[in-house]
Structure 1
């Protein structure tokens, strides 16, 4: 440490230099010339020597230094003590689980039934338009559970088969209600553009899953499905089911309520305190 004429405190630090970067550039060019041109290596060699000589002259025979003033010490800043108010689990306003509002299960059931009717109408229209029979698509659906229909000819699939109708009705109704319930649970998790998720995203994801797996599960059935109509039916189901579900008024979840209230156990006076 040294003291200058103005009595300011200073320290001596190594002086900045650009010679190391010049030497590094020279080495890079020297090796780059091995795969490009000898002239590049010659330039790199010259820069390497110049950089090395200049770098050594910064150190030998006397190391180059420069004075750096020392800033006056600053008094330590002591943070003020402040209190922190922590939210308790179950306290109203403490959002622990999303969503805050959901649709009742009845909304999903109604949406599934409505979507199933719309999907069945398009499926019947497909059978009439492409095969001249409304029972073709019904029998194709029943073939997922009836192995004897998987290899049936077009004439057989175009005829009315009571057993196939009952099986297809059970499969379609069960799947529609289950997917409708899924919509009722899923749509509140997507507050933005629920119609897009219900009518486009979910049907396309479901169709892609079936398209990729049906060729392994039942290749014969996979060859009989008209995928364009199938996608159209899925979109119709999603649009109608999502529309019906969105018409239903949401109910608040009980995540902020105590366990006794959520399970229906009697807790006298607890509800009054929550309302206050």
Structure 2
């Protein structure tokens, strides 16, 4: 019922909406409209007119006014709907199990998975440990390729220094205090942020979380960085060695996952829906899952 219908009902007039006659084979959906896209175009032209020409801004203002009026007329005073035919098909789920376990819920909280997760500090610790482990492959790359342990740090810092954009390999192989401090800041902040991410996703991996997070997540990050590094840091994109970069990412993932997974997990709000005896530690969590009988369907009764 639209706002106008509700207003008339409050005045004592019984108004029946257009879609009151419900049909089981038809569903009422809002009518499609292009006015939101026209409104977005108008606002964009207004912004473009501020830096180009006033004519562009006036055109954007005209489109904004037209789209606003057109959009409002589609919902006020009566909402416009259209009837969409629906093919009703009965779906019968067949299962060989006789019992089914469901997580307990409470009126105050919806189901939150996982039930247990890691503390924020745990993710920070894992990020710091993984960041330290990541420096080992980076240092090996610097020593084997450029005979200097400072090359990788200076190369990372070069992404933040415009004056280092055209620096030579000999310059990046030397020790620079400002480069070391910048690299430590960039690497440390990034490692802690990724550590927080690991603390959030590790409880979601059902089996072998350390190995899974130590391989799949680094490869995913490598793909994202590979596609965006040319825009973010051209000098780093031109000189990076992707083999050693992947090795550093895997070292980070394995160490960070190991450190995070060793810590004790904390309960999410889902835990509050469990019985008090379970929350107090008197009984096991296994008793919190209530077996629910499942009606079995004979295969011969299943529609083909």
Could you tell me the TM-score, scaled by structure 2's length? Answer: 0.54
Shift of 1:256: 4.4
Which whole-Å deviations, capped at 9, do the CAs of 1:86-121 have from their partners, x for residues lacking one? x985269x9701000011112111111111111012
Shift of 1:254: 2.3
Contact conserved, 1:112 with 1:177, CA < 8 A, in 2? yes
Shift of 1:209: 0.6
Shift of 1:250: 1.2
Q: What runs of 5+ residues in structure 1 fail to find an aligned partner?
A: 1-86, 259-270
The higher-RCO structure (CA 8 Å, 6+ apart) is 2
Contact conserved, 1:105 with 1:184, CA < 8 A, in 2? yes
Structure with higher Rg: it is 1
Shift of 1:202: 0.3
Q: Which of 198, 205, 210 is 1:183 aligned to?
A: 198
Aligned positions of 1:116-265 closer than 5 A? 116-257=131-272
Q: Does 1:100 align with 2:115?
A: yes
Contact conserved, 2:151 with 2:174, CA < 8 A, in 1? yes
**Aligned partners of 2:123, 2:181: CA distance in 1, in Å?**
23
Q: What runs of 5+ residues in structure 2 fail to find an aligned partner?
A: 1-102, 283-304
**Aligned partners of 2:215, 2:123: CA distance in 1, in Å?**
18
**Aligned partners of 1:226, 1:139: CA distance in 2, in Å?**
14
Q: Number of paired residues?
A: 179
Shift of 1:207: 0.5
Deviates more, 1:210-219 or 1:145-154: 210-219
Contact conserved, 2:127 with 2:193, CA < 8 A, in 1? yes
Q: Where does residue 106 of structure 2 map in the other structure?
A: 90
**Aligned partners of 1:88, 1:154: CA distance in 2, in Å?**
61
Contact conserved, 1:91 with 1:256, CA < 8 A, in 2? no
2:272 alignment partner, SS class:
coil
**Aligned partners of 1:95, 1:196: CA distance in 2, in Å?**
31
**Aligned partners of 1:212, 1:88: CA distance in 2, in Å?**
43
**Aligned partners of 1:211, 1:172: CA distance in 2, in Å?**
17
Contact conserved, 1:140 with 1:150, CA < 8 A, in 2? no
Could you tell me the TM-score, scaled by structure 1's length? Answer: 0.59
Q: Which of 112, 132, 137 is 2:127 aligned to?
A: 112
**Aligned partners of 1:223, 1:213: CA distance in 2, in Å?**
13
Contact conserved, 1:140 with 1:157, CA < 8 A, in 2? yes
